[in-house]
């Protein structure tokens, strides 16, 4: 492997936060690159600060580096100043552990956490000097793999990715390593490796072995199917049966520069027992599985010894629904309270149970309580199947305020199916009443920070057929909320509405969107999830040049019989069942 450090070191004084490019952090793993080892570059298409806070990266890093026949190293998207310096001096994208070129690894594996990271993937491929498109790669190029939530609809990125991993990744990365290990002995090239993975159908989707056909006039998808023998028509997601069978990241790397989350992160449950009709994550991570109390406690102890962090975050889609959560919190608190280690639960579900759950409320840190009502009226919550009553919410808030909280963060969606002005007005009313609930308890209102995001229909959900709300209406909703709030105790943050439109196009996009992604990247789009770098004008231009009508993708209602671009990805719930669930929502309007 080529050592790029002498070239990298020369440009570090010229860039912002150079510590994010040097490696050598506590708990990082540096292995010799044995030619018989499978070498995997774990690529996170965002900054070091964000990527180092992602639990999945640490999990896969540990799974691979625990093996004697494989090595995993990390690579993040360099910031814009670093990219410029690298291009000026022809320094290719490099990993942090050994400063080796990413293109010299066997696998370049991306984590696609959201649609707005797509141009960063292309930037990283380009910087790595790897051809952007799968069809242009040869024997000396790494196999480009992608997993994460966006694998639920892989089609917009199909041209650029060799193989997608759908579902749980820990066992699939082991399968990938074992397949690549055998390939040289058996004389198989990269196409043969991809074909073997595709034929398994168990979480591996190779888009180059499938073909889509569209109507020339309407653009509607007419057919989609495999073009190689033995490749299944549908790809089933990979699922780990027993969560305790896979390790937790008990030796996470401690970042040099500040990360978004500097804490121990332990996944206590995978999947969600609730069935919110907008939620793709529950479908992707089902069925519900949880870890045993002893395994969580042991992992917490090991992670503390290996890091010294003063916070333990218990993560899942709905931590309050984890069996024996109260006992877990009591035992963690008893073990770590004397060491001044706090506990946080980022994903609590609001219901009557939580309001009578003082162990949850009192055991966690009081920096701020984050809850997601999603909608502000009981009626609209029934539509989205988030069965929470306002009274349950207010009861929960009163318990929290008595326990010492004074900062609350609330998440709402706007533009939900069947939404009315009364539902919009309810957001301001609920936020204001939440703030006022603390006045008789603490003498002044609580600080309530409200984040409002446009509803984006997601594949594999009962709302996958719905139209997004138009831009003019969303702007009207935003103004309506702000004008109905008084005083300084409630503050609003509204997600960029134009970015939500691009997200909506990509969320339900097909292969034709790949052309727009490439054009957007070529014109200068990158870090699209960053407010100060997002360029909607460039995306508009890219859509136009690619012949993409954003309104047709985002604002068009789909019919029950329309062939959807992601139907070959099987997350476990049949299309007709999702439609029936959608129909259950609509009569409640």
Residue 343: what pLDDT? Answer: 83
Residue 356: what pLDDT? Answer: 52
Residue 371: what pLDDT? Answer: 85
Residue 354: what pLDDT? Answer: 58
DSSP string, 341-384: -EEE-S-PPPSHHHHT-HHHHHHB--S-EEEEEESSSHHHHHHT
Domains of the chain: 5-236 (3.40.50.280), 263-365 (3.30.750.210)
Q: Cα separations (Å) of 238 from 124, 148, 166, 435, 573?
A: 27, 12, 6, 44, 14
This prediction has a pTM of 0.95
Token reading at 269: 């449950």
User: Which residues of the chain register pLDDT less than 70?
Assistant: 347-368, 587-589
CA distance 462 to 87: 45
CA distance 269 to 281: 13
74 by DSSP, 3-state: which?
A: strand
CA distance 356 to 364: 15
HSE of 190 in the Cβ direction (CA atoms, 13 Å)? 18
CA distance 238 to 169: 7
Identify the sign of the CA torsion 234, 235, 237, 241: positive
Q: Given strand 38-44, what is the order of strands in its sheet?
A: 70-76, 38-44, 107-111, 143-147, 163-165, 204-205
Task: Put residue 524 in one of left, alpha, beta given phi > 0 → left and psi -120 to 50 → alpha.
Answer: left
Residues in Cβ contact with 87 at an 8 Å cutoff, skipping those fewer than 6 apart: 127
pLDDT digits (tens, 9 = 90+) for 412-421: 999 999 999 9
Which of 280, 291, 311, 294 is CA-nearest to residue 571?
Answer: 280
Residues in Cβ contact with 374 at an 8 Å cutoff, skipping those fewer than 6 apart: 276, 278, 381, 384, 386, 411, 412, 413, 416
CA distance 463 to 583: 10
CA distance 64 to 42: 10
Backbone angles phi, psi at 300, to 5 degrees: -60, -45
Q: Cα separations (Å) of 372 from 182, 268, 376, 411?
A: 47, 20, 10, 5
Residue 589: what pLDDT? Answer: 43
Helix, strand, coil proportions of the chain in percent (round to 5)?
40, 15, 40
Kindly report the number of other CB atoms within 10 A of residue 552's CB atom. Answer: 12
DSSP string, 48-69: HHHHTT-HHHHHHHHHHHTSSS
Tell me the longest C-alpha to C-alpha distance in the chain: 75
569 by DSSP, 3-state: which?
A: strand
Kindly report the number of other CB atoms within 10 A of residue 279's CB atom. Answer: 22
């Amino acid at each position: 492997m080529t050592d790029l450090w002498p070239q990298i070191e020369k440009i570090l004084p010229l860039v912002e936060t150079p510590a994010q490019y040097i490696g050598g952090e506590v708990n990082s793993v540096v292995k010799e690159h044995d030619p018989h080892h499978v070498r995997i570059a774990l690529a996170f298409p965002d900054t070091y600060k964000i990527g180092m806070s992602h639990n999945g990266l640490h999990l896969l890093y540990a799974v691979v580096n625990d093996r004697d026949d494989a090595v995993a190293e990390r690579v993040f998207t360099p910031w814009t100043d670093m990219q410029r310096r690298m291009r000026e001096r022809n320094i290719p994208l490099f990993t942090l552990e050994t400063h080796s070129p990413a293109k010299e690894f066997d696998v370049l594996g991306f984590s696609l956490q959201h649609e707005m990271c797509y141009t960063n993937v292309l930037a990283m491929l380009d910087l790595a000097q790897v051809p952007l498109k799968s069809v242009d790669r040869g024997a000396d190029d790494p196999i480009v793999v992608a997993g994460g939530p966006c694998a639920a609809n892989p089609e917009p990125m199909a041209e650029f990715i060799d193989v997608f991993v759908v579902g749980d990744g820990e066992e699939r990365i082991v399968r990938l390593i074992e397949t690549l290990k055998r390939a040289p002995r058996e004389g198989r090239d990269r196409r043969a490796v991809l074909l073997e993975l595709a034929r398994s159908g168990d979480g591996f989707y190779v888009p180059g072995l499938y073909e889509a056909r569209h109507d020339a006039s309407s653009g509607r998808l007419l057919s989609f199917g495999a073009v190689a023998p033995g490749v299944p028509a549908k790809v089933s997601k990979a699922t780990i049966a027993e969560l305790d069978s896979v390790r937790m990241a008990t030796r996470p790397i401690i970042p040099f520069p500040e990360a978004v989350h500097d804490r121990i992160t332990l996944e206590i449950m995978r999947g969600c027992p609730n069935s919110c009709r907008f939620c793709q994550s529950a479908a992707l991570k089902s069925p519900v599985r949880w870890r045993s109390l002893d395994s969580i406690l042991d992992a917490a102890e090991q992670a503390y010894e290996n890091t010294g962090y003063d916070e333990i975050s218990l993560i899942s889609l709905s931590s309050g629904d984890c069996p024996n959560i109260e006992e877990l919190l009591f035992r963690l608190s008893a073990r770590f309270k004397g060491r001044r280690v706090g506990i946080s639960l980022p994903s609590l579900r609001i219901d009557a149970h939580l309001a009578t759950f003082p162990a949850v409320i009192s055991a966690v840190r009081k920096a701020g309580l984050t809850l997601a009502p999603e909608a502000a009226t009981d009626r609209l919550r029934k539509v989205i199947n988030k069965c929470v009553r306002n009274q349950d919410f207010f009861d929960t808030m009163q318990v929290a305020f008595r326990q010492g909280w004074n900062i609350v963060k609330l998440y709402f969606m706007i533009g939900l199916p069947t939404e009315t002005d009364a539902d919009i007005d309810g957001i301001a009313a609920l936020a204001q009443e939440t703030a006022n609930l603390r006045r008789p308890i603490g003498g002044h209102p609580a600080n309530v920070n409200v984040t409002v995001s446009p509803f984006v229909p997601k594949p594999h959900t009962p709302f996958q057929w719905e139209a997004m709300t138009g831009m003019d209406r969303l702007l009207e909703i935003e103004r309506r909320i702000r004008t109905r709030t008084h005083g300084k105790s409630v503050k609003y943050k509204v997600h960029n509405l134009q970015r939500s439109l691009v997200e909506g196009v990509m969320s339900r996009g097909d292969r034709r969107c790949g052309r727009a992604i490439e054009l957007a990247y070529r014109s200068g789009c990158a870090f699209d999830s960053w407010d100060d770098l997002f360029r909607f004008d460039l995306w508009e231009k890219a859509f136009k040049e690619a012949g993409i009508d954003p309104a047709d993708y985002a604002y068009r209602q789909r019919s029950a019989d329309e062939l959807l671009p992601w139907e070959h990805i099987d997350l476990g719930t049949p299309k007709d069942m999702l439609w029936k669930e959608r129909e259950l929502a609509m009569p409640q309007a």
